[in-house]
Chains A and B, each alone.
Chain A
């Protein structure tokens, strides 16, 4: 019931739409189509230029490959499987490692970020250490994780966790610090305990901060998983990159990158969808938002 009544303010607007606003809507639609067409055009031009230059020897196809070969490689992997098994299995493997690492990293980052953001003493004690850890080049930890956790998924999950944790942590921390003092005071006056203030005021108002970092951090999780696989694994997209590189198959490297990009974009899409659902209360947020009153 709440869903419908939130959407309803848009309805009267549609009814009162007169001729002028119809033309305006048409113009907006035309503009959108033009943008889409231009986008496709850019892609076609870039791919065609790449293909042509590689075929005519302007760039060396040995290093730069060409779109048709990359496409052939993807088709071949899809139809006949890779040297490590089916393509779907490789994607799933990488995705599984990245997701697991992402979930652990996000959970740790959010809990510690909110915790330190709420408890001043903890923040004062731990802040120098966190700064030091953040300054470390964490990607260099991946070889150590391989030694500790072996070639299985655990080492990739660990790599993803260390990459994901920090951006999420810092955003959650900042979010917990920047909570509107009026809201906290109001909640306390209304009878909220400290725990309630954290759960029902601090966390909701920090979610927009946290979500910003979630977008970036899923990319980091993928990087962690891929780098881990690249350095040593029995399955996964990173391994495909490594094998292709070992056989001087540049088309394979590019094909693996294309597949990864698609996976990352799908994940991003899912996240945006979840965000829209979660932030219906936000002014101007796409979806439900329409200003009423006044």
Chain B
């Protein structure tokens, strides 16, 4: 399976031996990702878990085309990533909605940037605002919304562009626990209805293992930084899932225990490193 495969049958995302080295302001080099191999099939929901600061987010920026790998290959739909691709959507950890635009205008931004006529963009934006339950907030500014509502705007902003590939960087980490569970359910619903019914391929980065298992088809455990894939666990819980309910199932607990035995070790390593740095 080298580059000869036709794009239609290629996996949605493929990283082959990808590495990313950053130069720190002091001139030293910092390896965020090392020799990373990861495959995401079409329509697959993959959650990436790992200790904090291990380089999970960097993996996403490589796939998105915001950064280029120092080494190795990043393929989307069988093609080498050389820049930002129109079929990729990205939901950021922090608020990235434009504060000077109204909610509606924020959701219209993507289509407008891509040259969709204003009227059509507005219609599509209104449709997605309705789906995330913010139809009556169209004329508000982001600062007038709660954190959860702003996140919904960000989701609508991303989904309105109809992404075939959805990259999510700890999107709900800043929300309170109840809102987070609610948003996870909504995400699963939106995901099911996205991309003309054919579900988008998702890479969901999180440090919350419960969230990862509840959402994903496959949980990828990363090592302590520099990040590389340690182990991949399939999650065979039936869909459609309700996050709060699925958590209580025996199978969920079993998978949790299994993955945690792998992840916990990396978390411990990270913590010990942090401690030795402080000492």
Q: Which residues of A contact B (CB under 8 A)?
A: 1-2, 5-6, 9, 180, 182-183, 185-193, 196, 200-201, 204-205, 280-283, 288-294
Cβ of B216 within 8 Å of any chain A Cβ, yes or no, is no
How far apart are the CA atoms of A200 and B100 in the complex, in Å?
Answer: 10
Q: In the complex, which residues 76-124 of chain B have their Cβ closer than 8 Å to any Cβ of chain A?
A: 84, 86, 88-90, 92, 94-102, 109-110, 113-114
Known pairs A2-B102, A290-B144, A292-B144; A188 contacts B84 (CB<8 A):
yes
| Count of interface residues, chain B, beta-carbon cutoff 8 Å | 33
The answer to whether A201 touches B98, judged by C-beta atoms less than 8 angstroms apart, is yes
Partner of B94, one of A182, A192, A282: A182
Known pairs A5-B140, A294-B146; A190 contacts B110 (CB<8 A):
yes
How far apart are the CA atoms of A183 and B88 in the complex, in Å?
Answer: 16
A–B Cβ pairs within 8 angstroms, 12 of them: A2-B139, A180-B96, A182-B95, A186-B97, A186-B157, A187-B98, A189-B90, A191-B114, A192-B109, A204-B100, A281-B99, A292-B140
Beyond known contacts A183-B96, A204-B98, A288-B141: 18 more, CB 8 A cutoff: A9-B144, A180-B96, A183-B98, A185-B90, A186-B97, A186-B98, A187-B109, A188-B84, A189-B89, A189-B90, A190-B110, A191-B161, A192-B109, A192-B113, A204-B100, A281-B102, A292-B146, A293-B144
Smallest beta-carbon distance A286→chain B, Å: 14
**What DSSP secondary structure best describes chain A's contact surface?**
loop
The answer to whether B66 touches A188, judged by C-beta atoms less than 8 angstroms apart, is yes
Which residues in A have their C-beta under 8 angstroms from that of B99?
281-282
The answer to whether B86 touches A191, judged by C-beta atoms less than 8 angstroms apart, is yes
Smallest beta-carbon distance B89→chain A, Å: 7
The answer to whether A293 touches B88, judged by C-beta atoms less than 8 angstroms apart, is no
How far apart are the CA atoms of A201 and B113 in the complex, in Å?
Answer: 12
Which residues in A have their C-beta under 8 angstroms from that of B146?
292-294
The answer to whether B145 touches A196, judged by C-beta atoms less than 8 angstroms apart, is no
Q: Which residues of B contact A (CB under 8 A)?
A: 64, 66, 84, 86, 88-90, 92, 94-102, 109-110, 113-114, 139-147, 149, 157, 161
Partner of B161, one of A1, A180, A190, A291: A190
Chain B CB within 10 Å, residue with most, of A1, A187, A193: A187
Partner of B139, one of A1, A190, A200: A1
Partner of B96, one of A2, A182, A191, A294: A182
Which residues in B have their C-beta under 8 angstroms from that of A196?
113
The answer to whether B113 touches A281, judged by C-beta atoms less than 8 angstroms apart, is no
**What DSSP secondary structure best describes chain B's contact surface?**
loop
The answer to whether A182 touches B157, judged by C-beta atoms less than 8 angstroms apart, is no
The answer to whether A189 touches B98, judged by C-beta atoms less than 8 angstroms apart, is no
Closest to A288 in B: B141
Which residues in A have their C-beta under 8 angstroms from that of B144?
6, 9, 290-293
How far apart are the CA atoms of A88 and B142 in the complex, in Å?
Answer: 46
Which residues in B have their C-beta under 8 angstroms from that of A282?
99, 143
Which residues in B have their C-beta under 8 angstroms from that of A204?
98, 100
The answer to whether B149 touches A281, judged by C-beta atoms less than 8 angstroms apart, is no
Closest to A183 in B: B96
Which residues in B have their C-beta under 8 angstroms from that of A294?
146-147
Which residues in A have their C-beta under 8 angstroms from that of B140?
5-6, 292
The answer to whether B149 touches A293, judged by C-beta atoms less than 8 angstroms apart, is yes
How far apart are the CA atoms of A109 and B133 in the complex, in Å?
Answer: 43
How far apart are the CA atoms of A58 and B143 in the complex, in Å?
Answer: 58
How far apart are the CA atoms of A196 and B111 in the complex, in Å?
Answer: 13
Closest to A284 in B: B143
Which residues in A have their C-beta under 8 angstroms from that of B149?
293
Smallest beta-carbon distance B155→chain A, Å: 13
Closest to B115 in A: A191
Which residues in A have their C-beta under 8 angstroms from that of B102?
2, 281
The answer to whether B100 touches A190, judged by C-beta atoms less than 8 angstroms apart, is no
How far apart are the CA atoms of A201 and B84 in the complex, in Å?
Answer: 17
Known pairs A189-B66, A191-B114, A204-B100; A182 contacts B143 (CB<8 A):
no
The answer to whether A185 touches B143, judged by C-beta atoms less than 8 angstroms apart, is no
The answer to whether A283 touches B96, judged by C-beta atoms less than 8 angstroms apart, is no
Closest to B144 in A: A292
Which residues in B have their C-beta under 8 angstroms from that of A186?
90, 92, 96-98, 157
Known pairs A182-B96, A196-B113; A189 contacts B88 (CB<8 A):
yes
The answer to whether B66 touches A185, judged by C-beta atoms less than 8 angstroms apart, is yes
Which residues in B have their C-beta under 8 angstroms from that of A5?
139-140
The answer to whether A293 touches B145, judged by C-beta atoms less than 8 angstroms apart, is yes
Which residues in B have their C-beta under 8 angstroms from that of A288?
141
Smallest beta-carbon distance B127→chain A, Å: 17
Closest 3 CB pairs of A and B: A293-B146, A283-B143, A186-B96
How far apart are the CA atoms of A205 and B161 in the complex, in Å?
Answer: 24
How far apart are the CA atoms of A201 and B147 in the complex, in Å?
Answer: 21
Smallest beta-carbon distance B200→chain A, Å: 14
Closest to A188 in B: B84
Which residues in A have their C-beta under 8 angstroms from that of B139?
1-2, 5-6
Smallest beta-carbon distance B37→chain A, Å: 24
How far apart are the CA atoms of A186 and B107 in the complex, in Å?
Answer: 12
Chain B CB within 10 Å, residue with most, of A9, A188, A205: A188
How far apart are the CA atoms of A188 and B101 in the complex, in Å?
Answer: 16
Which residues in B have their C-beta under 8 angstroms from that of A189?
64, 66, 84, 88-90
Chain B CB within 10 Å, residue with most, of A186, A192, A291: A186
